[in-house]
Amino acid sequence: MLDLLMLGLLAAVFAVAFRYVHACVAVTTPEGQEHVP
């Protein structure tokens, strides 16, 4: 039972990490590449 709880916690934090990758892709916008000349 405790093993399932630990593996569930692990799955949860890795789900956040994978979502984090997508979030980083989302915030690196083309506008963000612009700069003041």
Partner 1 sequence: MTWEGWTQIAIFAAVVAALVKPLGFYIERVLAGEGTWVQRRLGPIEGAVYRLAGVDPAREQAWPAYATSLLVFNLAGILLLYAILRLQARLPLNPEALPAVAPDLALNTAISFATNTSWQAYGGETTLSYLSQMAGIAVQSFLSCAVGIAVAITLVRGFARCSVPTIGNFWVDITRITLYILLPVSIPVALFLAWQGVPQTFAAHATVTTLDGATQILARGPVASQDVIKLLSGDGGGFFNANSAHPFENPNAVTGIVEMLLIFLVGAALTNTFGRMVRDERQGWVLFAAMAALFTIGLATLYGAESAGNPAFAGLGVDQVAGAAQSGGNLEGKEVRFGVGQSSLFAAVTTASSDGAVNAMHDSFTPLGGLALLANMMLDEVIVGGPGSGLFGMLLFALVAVFIAGLMVGRTPEYLGKKITANEVKMTMLALLSVPAAILGGAAVASVVPAGLAGLGNAGPHGFSEILYAFTSAAATNGSAFAGLSVNTPFYNLGLALAMFIGRFMVVVPVLCIAGTLAAKRSVPASAGTLPTTGAQFAGLLVGVIVIVGGLTFLPALVLGPVAEHVALIAGSRY
CA dist., res. 28 & res. 37, Å (int): 20
**The Cα angle at residue 17 between residues 16 and 21, in degrees rounded to 5:** 115
Site for partner 1 in 5-34 (CB under 8 A): 5-7, 9-10, 13-14, 17-18, 20-22, 24-25, 27-29, 31-34
Q: How far is the CB of 16 from partner 1 (least distance, A)?
A: 9
Dihedral angle sign, alpha carbons of residues 13, 15, 20, 23: negative
Q: How far is the CB of 25 from partner 1 (least distance, A)?
A: 6
Q: How far is the CB of 19 from partner 1 (least distance, A)?
A: 10
